[in-house]
Structure 1
């Protein structure tokens, strides 16, 4: 066994060392004007440099190589922008080349094959989806129609916090704000009451699912960095795809139940036409000759955008606002 391992190590060394110098030579002779960056190792690229928090690693690299750094994560090249001037040039001067987000397994799975608004590639489909969002889903009139829902849910939250204050019991603001934003989004977008006992998914599980989904959207799987059999094997070994598939299946069943309830006339709350009802109405009116057609997967993808972004962003914003008020008593007193 020891002889076999020794032979394997020598074989790998003899294979990777020449490959390393070959890749370095190709980089030096490249006709492309590539940004500076650290030398990459065979197969793993620059992954070995990320030993701590990514943003701190990027900062240390920018000090050494400048505001624009070229890295390789496995087989995937990545350019890191670390200055406001470079960022402005990217988003203004080269916006068309950088406006589409990277396609990963997580974003593709949770967006139903990039059929949403956030992760779909810039082009005709994205323009049609954006038009749908601006004109139909989030117009000023539509947003104002949900004013009473927002006021009611905020009133319920204030009442609960006041009751806890009278009892001198502690309040977990993270859970409180999550419950608030989830309640508003469920009523506005899904026509469902988040606080009812018969809600499709338990509250605790919803919070876990949102966290797991956001982690999947903001991270890479092995197959994203190592194409072919190697990446798929590593994902099978570490369960990367399995975790994302499980989250997707639970969300998909949730959205399907909401859609089925609407089609059967079983909405749990009476509110102005919620977003699911609006999208189903548009889908029902489509003609055979219409250029852009909505499908059930399109609706689910839009719901995924609204639910994840709405619940998480709203809750985090309020948590940070309360944190800053706690850190600045003068401002808190003024707000009170």
Structure 2
């Protein structure tokens, strides 16, 4: 397509318009000189509603608010110290999830038929809820039963 339309052209993918750049010099100019023009995400009604008027990190437009949220996320959530701090919670939840499979398999003579997608979703949900609220999500099939975990 670059041979036919040139080093920079526009495509419409569904309702979204996309700029395609195949020349390294133009790409460098896009990411250095004109980076502010390309940094914003397209605004949509779905992003506004789901993102609480663009307040969520992944849906917020580029600007001072987004930079502040990014700084908080990288320092408070994704720093090496924080990840190490929550390693015991992750280890505990993984051990508990594997123990759940073992208990089910021992009851059924070693044969367990399970939905791994749901198992991983529950594992991730338990880790997130424990880190955020200090309780464990224990509800089967999506009900929001919470159980306090004793400190160890």
TM-score computed with the length of structure 2 as normaliser:
0.71
Q: 1:269 aligns with which of 137, 148, 151?
A: 148
Offset of residue 101 of structure 1: 1.2
Q: C-alpha offsets along residues 203-235 of structure 1, whole Å, 9 cap, x if unaligned?
A: 17x8xxxxxxxxxxxxxxxxxxxxxxxxxxxxx
Separation of aligned partners in 1, 2:136 and 2:89: 11
Deviates more, 1:178-187 or 1:127-136: 127-136
What is the Cα-based RMSD across aligned positions, in Å? 3.6
Counterpart of 1:109 in structure 2 is 49
Counterpart secondary structure, 1:193: strand
Q: Which residue of 2 aligns with 1:188?
A: 131
Aligned-partner Cα distance in 2 for 1:268–1:91 = 50
User: Is 1:120 matched up with 2:63?
Assistant: no
After superposition, the C-alpha distances for 1:257-301 in whole angstroms (9 at most, x for unaligned) are xxxxxxxxxx953589xxxxxxxxxxxxxxxxxxxxxxxxxxxxx
Q: 1 or 2, which has the higher strand percentage? A: 2
* CA deviation string 1:168-194 (max 9, x = no partner): 122321111111111111111233321
Are the aligned partners of 1:191 and 1:268 in contact in 2 as well (CA < 8 Å)? no
Q: Using the TM superposition, give the Cα deviation of residue 97 of structure 1 relative to its aligned residue in structure 2, in angstroms.
A: 1.8
**Which of residues 6, 16, 20 is equivalent to 1:81?**
20
Higher RCO, Cα 8 Å, sep 6+: 1
| Aligned match of 1:177 | 120
1:141 aligns with 2:81: yes
Structure 1 portions without partners, runs of 5+? 1-60, 207-266, 273-336
Unaligned segments of structure 2, at least 5 residues: none
Tell me which structure has the larger Cα radius of gyration. Answer: 1
* Cα offset, 1:125, TM superposition: 1.4
**Higher share in helix:** 1
Alignment of 1:1-336 (within 5 A): 65=5, 68-72=8-12, 78-81=17-20, 85=24, 89=28, 92-93=31-32, 94-166=34-106, 167-196=110-139, 203=142, 268-269=147-148
